[in-house]
Structure 1
């Protein structure tokens, strides 16, 4: 199941990077990235960074690393998750 979810995440991230202009034309620009990430290209940068983040998370999901990383970092912030 993790492989299917990982492939879907990688595919979604790839499409977000490839078709950024289509996403912006259909959904419009986002105010926060436009203000904080650049003059007129903040939304494009935001969608591309989000796509790269999804690709990395997708590969981590496929290889089983996401659970290990979560178990390593989350208990520091949530004491109830200790094993």
Structure 2
């Protein structure tokens, strides 16, 4: 089941990255992206970054590495409590 969920997340991220112009035409520009990521192309870059993040999360879910990654990220905080 995690394989198919990861594949679905990857496909959604790929669609968001490849069809950025379609998303801008149908959902509009995002003011925060325009303000923080650039003047005119901020929303395009923002949509692509969200898509790339979704692809990376999809790969992590598909390979089952979520627990290992979360343990690695939180290890500096929890190693002193043992």
| TM-score, normalised by the number of residues in structure 2 | 0.86
Deviation at 1:74, TM superposition (A): 3.6
Q: Which residue does the alignment assign to 2:34?
A: 34
- Structure-1 separation of matches of 2:58 and 2:7: 6
CA positional deviation for 1:47? 0.6
Aligned-pair distance for 1:76? 5.0
- What residue is the counterpart of 1:2 in the other structure? 2
CA distance in 2, matches of 1:76, 1:43: 35
In the TM superposition, residue 62 of structure 1 has moved relative to its aligned partner by 0.8
TM-score by length of 1: 0.85
Per-residue deviation, 1:25: 0.6
How many residue pairs match? The answer is 80
1:2-45 CA distances to partner (integer Å, 9 max, x unpaired)? 10110011000100011101101111100011011011110000
- Alignment root-mean-square deviation, CA: 1.8
Residues 35-66 of structure 1: CA deviation (Å, up to 9, x unaligned) = 11011110000010111111111111111112
CA distance in 2 between partners of 1:74 and 1:8 (Å): 27
Note the residue ranges of structure 1 that are not aligned, 5 or more in a row. Answer: none
